[in-house]
């Protein structure tokens, strides 16, 4: 039996497959089931913008402290607006404005720091 080491291009995992001949080894990543849940950052922003008020969970890294945060939120909530204009352009700064359900406040999420998204019962990893 010959052990052959493979490298998964999707997740970066190194794994081994064993067979009598290297060409017979099944080069299937052990985490292949998770690969179908991998989306691009642009697709994550599209899902976030197109959620139309439905609940979703976002995992991201905060810009200020670098801590990893998980937030359940909604987009498109306008009930709690006080009036006036924002002091900054969220899109120009790469931010998505959401309504956090736990605190009951608006939050700005950095779209370039999103690591995972759960929407419609499906968890997607952002790469």
- Per residue in 53-87, pLDDT tens? 999 999 999 999 999 999 999 999 988 888 888 88
**Token code pair at residue 54:** 């439905």
Return the half-sphere exposure (C-beta side, CA atoms, 13 A cut-off) of residue 50: 8
The SS3 assignment for 64 reads coil
The SS3 assignment for 67 reads coil
Within 10 A of 61 (CB to CB), how many other CB atoms are there?
A: 14
pLDDT in tens, 80-119: 888 888 889 999 999 999 999 999 999 999 999 999 999 9
Q: What domains can be seen in the chain, in order of their start residue?
A: 2-34 (no CATH), 38-126 (2.30.30)
pLDDT in tens, 5-61: 888 877 778 888 877 776 666 778 887 777 778 899 999 999 999 998 999 999 999
The pTM is what?
0.71
């Amino acid at each position: 039996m010959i052990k052959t080491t493979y490298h998964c291009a999707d997740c970066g995992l190194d794994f081994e497959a064993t067979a009598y001949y290297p060409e017979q080894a099944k080069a299937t990543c052990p985490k292949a089931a998770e690969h179908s849940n991998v989306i691009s950052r642009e697709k994550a922003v599209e899902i976030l913008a197109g959620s139309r008020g439905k609940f979703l969970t976002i995992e991201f890294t905060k810009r200020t402290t670098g801590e990893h945060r998980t937030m359940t939120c909604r987009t498109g909530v306008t009930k709690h607006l006080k009036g006036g204009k924002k002091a900054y352009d969220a899109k120009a700064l790469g931010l998505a404005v959401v309504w956090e359900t736990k605190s009951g406040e608006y939050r700005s999420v950095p779209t370039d720091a999103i690591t995972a998204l759960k929407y419609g019962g499906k968890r997607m990893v952002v790469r």
